[in-house]
Structure 1
Amino acid sequence: MNKIKSISAFLLLFSAVIFTSCSVEPYTGSIPSSGDNGGNESANDYWPSAINNQWVFSLNGVNQAPLKMVSIDAIGGNSYFTFNPQSNGGVSQVTRLRKLNGDYYIKSEDIIVAAQAGVPGSTSTGTERILLKDYLPVGGSWTSDYVQTTTYTDPTYPVVTTNFNIVATILEKGSTLTVGSQTFNDVIKVRVVQNITFSGQISSAISYYWYAKNVGSIKIETTSGTTTYTQDLVSYILN
């Protein structure tokens, strides 16, 4: 059971809101331009979206594989910009982004973990949640509650249910932040508090996200237990 718990805690770094699985098909309709998804949304754009847009981050000082927008897909009547698949430590995942009325949604498909160290492989249900509401004032917040289930390839392992409560709050707007050698203006800082309930026990993780106008995410800091992960933007390409 301790091994199951450790995997569940590890997955919180990759998880979001539960999402019912559905087919993915090429999107053939028109795509709104960045920052203009119809309606009365903010005219700002804190995550520019176009095929081949690319961001490279370092994780605790080590450069990671590029995060690149590789396709546009229609899912459940919504259009998403899909990133290239990401793999890390036996975990693989596909994520997608959509924007509507100043809301930025991140959709994560099922999380697949390879078998390792005597623990069987597993699949955790995909999720979707709002990462940013760029029109909210400082102090504005939003909440997400959802359940994620994890099923193991070894049927003797029970299905694991994990409950998430996420509270995000705008801490700063219009600020300036230097990341490495780059200085970014018009930055929004968001605090995200995740409370995770597993087998009656509650654990927490706190993340801070910085988004720069017309650039995207530039820095993320996540603390889970006594461990802190820092992701800094190293370079980016926008089309």
Structure 2
Amino acid sequence: MKKTLSLLSLLLIVFSCENEALEGFDLESNSDSPFENNDVIGESGGESTGDYWPMATGNKWTYDNYIDGQQEDDGIMEISLQEDYLGFPSYLYSSFLPSSTSTDGSVTGDVEINAYSSKNGGDYHISVASTSFEVSGVYQISQSSYSFVMLKDYLEVGETWTSNYSITTSTEVLMDGLPDVPDTNMNVTYNNEIMEKGISVEVNGTTYSPVIKVKANSTYQVAGLPDSSAEYFYYFAEDVGLIKYEGSVYDGDDSITTSILAELNEVILN
């Protein structure tokens, strides 16, 4: 089974080609499963202690990007505009870190993903809108939307939070004679912990302070397949944003672990 992932903790996406919301905002859920309700930006989360992800149209972060120790093309994160998403003021990205990359570290091609960020109190949300794309004129693949909390700047060292969400991938066969492909559901558990606060971190010769260091562990579960996982450390600098992230992704299906490192080399803030 071919897998691709879009690098940012978190944004591991499985495709199968073989077989900050306002208070009171919510979406209906069909069950009590923690994975059912994907698109809740959530109630305001605590009083913010600073701006650890500046959000404005035109803001751009460029990263030196390494996969398994080899330098790849720069990773770019750039805000293109502000618009409401799920009824909450959010920022749409024209580029959200590296392009799609296979779990063995090789680039497989770009997939257009509409990614949003928003801040509600001291909670920093990432939302990924539903996505659809064609593969070689053979399949039309669609993926459901989802949201999660990437940072809670008001928590103390050692405090944790968890985001659960589900991603449904549907495949339409475009060529006659090929068998139908069933929908695939992936349940994601995203556990986070504040590791350090108020620290100084040097990246590419620049020292940033204060910085919050976050550990993020994700588990990806698809019925009938071995679990995959990811572990990342994120470094957020006040009034700058994400200055560094490092970690690894484990592909349970292929038993391959890929290491990731990204370090800020340029930032434009408006």
Determine helix, strand or coil for the equivalent of 2:139.
coil
The alpha-carbon distance between structure 1 residues 39 and 205, as it changes in their structure 2 partners (threshold 3 A), is: closer
1:217 corresponds in structure 2 to: 242
Instruction: Mark the runs of 5 or more structure 1 residues left unpaired by the alignment.
Output: 21-37
Could you say if the C-alpha distance between residues 181 and 111 of structure 1 is closer, same or farther in structure 2, counting changes exceeding 3 Å? farther
2:77 aligned partner = 67
Task: Give the 3 Å change call, closer, same or farther, for CA 193–40 of structure 1 in structure 2.
Answer: closer
1:108 to 125, 128, 139: 128
Counterparts of 2:214 and 2:10 in 1: how far apart (Å)?
16
Deviations 1:148-184 (A, max 9, x none): 1001132711111111111100001011111112211
Confirm or deny that 1:157 pairs with 2:172: no
Q: 2:29 maps to which residue? A: none
4+ runs of 1 displaced by more than 4 Å?
Answer: none
The correspondence for 1:147, drawn from 150, 166, 169, is 166
- Measure the CA separation in 2 of the matches of 1:39 and 1:148: 24
Structure 1 residue 95 displacement after superposition: 1.0
Residues 218/137 of structure 1: CA separation in 2 closer, same or farther (3 Å cut): same
Which residues in structure 2 correspond to 1:1-239 (within 5 Å)? 2-3=1-2, 6-7=3-4, 10=5, 14-15=11-12, 18-19=38-39, 41-60=47-66, 61-64=71-74, 66-86=76-96, 87-88=99-100, 89-115=109-135, 120-154=139-173, 156-200=180-224, 201-225=226-250, 226-239=257-270
Report the equivalent of 2:254.
none
Per-residue CA deviation, residues 78-132 of structure 1 (Å, 9 max, x unaligned), is 100111145542322111111111110111112445415x973422211111110
Output the amino acid matched with 1:229. Answer: I
Alpha carbons 1:187, 1:211 under 8 Å: kept: yes
Amino acid at match of 2:85: I
Q: Mean alpha-carbon deviation: is it higher for 48-57 or for 88-97? A: 88-97
Secondary structure of residue in 1 paired with 2:39: coil
Contact 1:15–1:127 (CA under 8 A) maintained in structure 2: no
Contact 1:208/1:221, CA 8 A, preserved across alignment: yes
Report which of the two has the higher share of helix: 1
Contact 1:146–1:164, Cα closer than 8 Å, also in 2: yes
Structure 2: where are the runs of 5+ without partners?
14-36, 101-108, 174-178, 251-256
| Identical pairs, percent | 31
| Equivalent residue letter for 2:201 | L
Residue identity matched to 1:50: A
- Secondary structure of the corresponding residue to residue 158 of structure 1: strand
| In structure 1, C-alpha distance between the alignment counterparts of 2:247 and 2:143, rounded to whole Å | 21
Q: What TM-score, normalized by structure 1, do the two folds share?
A: 0.81
* Alpha-carbon distance in 2 for matches of 1:176, 1:107: 29
**Offset at 1:49?**
1.4
Return the offset for 1:224: 1.1
Take 1:222 and 1:18, find their aligned partners in 2: how far apart are those partners? 25
**Alpha-carbon distance change, 146 to 74 in structure 1, aligned in 2, over 3 angstroms:** same
Q: What amino acid is aligned across from residue 44 of structure 1 in structure 2?
A: G
The CA deviation at 1:203 is 2.1
- Does the 8 A contact of 1:56 with 1:63 survive in 2? no
Instruction: Give the RMSD, CA atoms, in angstroms.
Output: 2.5
